[in-house]
Amino acid sequence: MNEYKAEQFEDTAKRFKTLGHPMRLAIVEALFARSYCVCELAELLGMHKSITSKHLSALKHVGIIDMQREGTRVNCILTMPCVLEMMHCAIKPQNEVKE
């Protein structure tokens, strides 16, 4: 495997690892519908603002979300909506064995 491919796979693995938390998946799903500020997301998901902020920071670090400032408000936006399709596929795999 060449160096470029190895680096690409490492970055992808980091994104999957970051998504490996139920609340981060819930954040991604919420942000698919629209942008939210940290306090709105915290209220929507029933989490403390500081915990929500840590989850958002992890998602931003790997490029799944971004944050845009509007005056004093910081809105979180989903930059990789394709992860939601993967998440829904994992919830109910299409090739599920029927008994």
Q: Tell me the domains of the chain and their CATH numbers.
A: 3-91 (1.10.10.10)
CA distance 67 to 20: 21
Task: Work out the percent of the chain whose per-residue pLDDT is above 70.
Answer: 92
Residue 98, SS3 per DSSP: coil
Residue 36, SS3 per DSSP: strand
- CA-to-CA dists, residue 30 to 8, 36, 57, 96, angstroms: 27, 8, 16, 26
- Whole-prediction pTM: 0.85
Range 23-42 average pLDDT: 96
pLDDT at residue 93 in the model: 66
pLDDT at residue 13 in the model: 93
Which of the 8 DSSP states describes residue 97? P
- Whole-number mean pLDDT of the chain? 90
pLDDT at residue 61 in the model: 97
Range 76-83 average pLDDT: 95
Question: Is pLDDT above 60 for 99?
Answer: no
- CA-to-CA dists, residue 82 to 3, 64, 71, 99, angstroms: 25, 10, 29, 30
